[in-house]
């Protein structure tokens, strides 16, 4: 079973893997399970992309995402979402390394030092 995010809704995708038995040698065989972004994980690639995009691009905290998904009838704990974000970080490390090498190969780098207001400046 794999949980997937389709924009605006959730879909549960079930993978049927029938078992076959050889009557001559009593061996049982079964098709291999499809690959998943997170080993033995519930989240599909679309749902992982949605959670990470909502967190880092839309600035939507995980507890609010959990509440939004709860209204859709899917109970996902904030801790599960946090684990998915961490696992997605590990999946994206090769891409991060390639981008780092590309950026650092430039003759000049530009940095933006514009101050950003925060809710709790004392922290």
pLDDT of the residue at 11: 82
Instruction: Evaluate whether residue 112 is within a structural domain.
Output: no
- For residue 3, count other CB atoms closer than 10 A to its CB: 16
Q: Is the pTM of this model over 0.95?
A: no
Instruction: Evaluate whether residue 117 is within a structural domain.
Output: no
Count of domains for the chain: 1
Instruction: Evaluate whether residue 91 is within a structural domain.
Output: yes
DSSP for 24-93, please give it: TT--EEEPPPPP-SSTT-SB-HHHHHHHHHHHHTS---HHHHHHHHHHTT----HHHHHHHHHHHHHHHH
Instruction: Evaluate whether residue 111 is within a structural domain.
Output: no
Instruction: Evaluate whether residue 52 is within a structural domain.
Output: yes
Alpha-carbon gap, residue 85 to 92, rounded angstroms: 10
Residue range of the domain that includes 58: 2-104
pLDDT of the residue at 1: 79
Instruction: Evaluate whether residue 120 is within a structural domain.
Output: no
pLDDT of the residue at 57: 93
pLDDT of the residue at 31: 85
Instruction: Evaluate whether residue 116 is within a structural domain.
Output: no
- For residue 10, count other CB atoms closer than 10 A to its CB: 15
Instruction: Evaluate whether residue 110 is within a structural domain.
Output: no
What tens digit of pLDDT does each residue of 36-64 get?
888 888 898 989 999 999 999 999 999 99
Residues of the chain under the 50 pLDDT cut: none
pLDDT of the residue at 13: 85
């Amino acid at each position: 079973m794999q949980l997937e995010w389709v924009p605006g809704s959730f879909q549960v995708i079930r993978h049927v893997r029938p078992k076959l038995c050889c009557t001559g040698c009593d061996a049982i065989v079964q098709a291999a399970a499809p690959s998943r972004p997170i080993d033995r994980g519930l989240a599909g690639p679309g749902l992982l992309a949605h959670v990470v995009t909502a967190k880092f691009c839309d600035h939507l905290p995980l507890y609010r995402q959990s509440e939004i998904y709860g209204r859709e009838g899917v109970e996902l704990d904030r801790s599960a979402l946090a684990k998915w974000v961490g696992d997605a970080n590990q999946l994206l490390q090769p891409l991060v390394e390639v981008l780092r090498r590309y950026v650092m190969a430039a003759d000049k780098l530009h940095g933006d030092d514009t101050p950003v207001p925060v809710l709790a400046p004392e922290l």
